[in-house]
Structure 1
Amino acid sequence: MTDHALPHDYPIPIDPADIDFMGHVNNASYLKWVQDAVLSHWRKIAPADAVASLLWVALKHEITYRKPTFLDDEVIATVLLEKVQGARAFYQTIIKRGEDVLAEVKSSWCCIDAETLRPARLASNVIERFFPDQTNGSTASA
């Protein structure tokens, strides 16, 4: 994870419906968790006008499962925006139970205008909120 980006911790509620026939969380639940965590990160850091006018669509998730997750586990997803290129954002999400890494997720997302539903570039002042220790342009690409 990049030292200069603002991470976001998102507690994950595990529902009995998440549990599969083997007694642990079904792999499909991780996708829902990552989406919830990334969108929570966006809503927490982005300005209200950007949250209201821009939406996110997942383009790709690459999940590496490390350990199974169970119903009574206390799980936290730590989300980090790695970079922005045009209308695309690249995230890393680490899902942990205590110190145990349960899954690592690399995902890419497309920002879209809520009105036109067309791809939309993030303004530099929005991107800077996620990377407060870096100068404009060092993490975001046009």
Structure 2
Amino acid sequence: MHWDFPQPHIYPVAPQVADIDGLDHTNNAVYVRWCEQAGWSHSEALGLDLAAYRRLDRAMAIAKAEYDYLLPTSLGDDLRLGTWLCGTDGKMTMERRFQLVRVSDGATVMRGRWQLVCIEIGSGKPRRMPPEFCDAYLPAVVANS
């Protein structure tokens, strides 16, 4: 598979019956859900799960999300959703990217991008990333080209 960036965190997915819309392809909202699941999977792999977020009273919240739907997918397609952290100011913001690839032909079917901001969970206000976030996330950031 050709990935947009090196060493993606890979989250395997396959459309199920409930994911298929009236046009007989995967509904776009399903891709959004998969991105959320892949983002959490990556965060957990880096050592930050929901319990850590709550303990630290901090979270990386989506400030902006963009999705480019390039090709349709169908029931049972074997897909790989790659995700990366691609940018950060090292203080409050990060960027997460996504690339969904169909295994059978290697085609990229969707790309996504999130702009993330660190918030204090209790107030919802932007706050600096705690050291635990910097220690886990910053080493995982890849060069943004």
Question: What's 2:99 paired with?
Answer: 94
Indicate the larger mover: 107-116 or 19-28: 107-116
Measure the CA separation in 1 of the matches of 2:123 and 2:30. Answer: 30
The answer as to whether partners of 1:43 and 1:51 remain within 8 angstroms in 2 is: no
Contact 2:85-2:140 at 8 Å conserved across structures: no
The answer to whether 1:9 aligns with 2:16 is: no
- TM-score (normalizing by structure 1): 0.77
Q: How does 1:78-117 map to 2 (within 5 A)?
A: 78-85=82-89, 86-98=91-103, 99-117=106-124
CA separation in 2, counterparts of 1:63 and 1:126? 25
Match of 2:85, SS state, is: strand
More displaced 10-residue stretch of structure 1: 37-46 or 71-80? 37-46
Worse-matched range after superposition: 69-78 or 9-18: 9-18
TM-score scaled by structure 2? Answer: 0.75
Runs of 4+ more than 6 Å apart: none
- The answer to whether the Cα contact below 8 Å between 1:59 and 1:110 also exists between their aligned partners in 2 is yes
Contact 1:46/1:126 (<8 A) preserved: no
> Contact (CA 8 Å) 2:14, 2:75: kept in 1 or not?
no
Distance 2:140 2:38 in 1: 23
Q: Which moved more, 1:25-34 or 1:125-134?
A: 125-134
State yes or no: 1:119 paired with 2:126.
yes
Is 1:76 matched up with 2:83?
A: no
Cα distance in 2 between the residues matched to 1:80 and 1:28: 20
Q: Which runs of 5+ in 2 are unaligned?
A: none
Contact persistence 1:14–1:72 (CA under 8 A): yes
Q: How far apart are the structure 1 equivalents of 2:48 and 2:19?
A: 33
CA 1:107–1:16 in 2, change beyond 3 Å: closer, same or farther? same
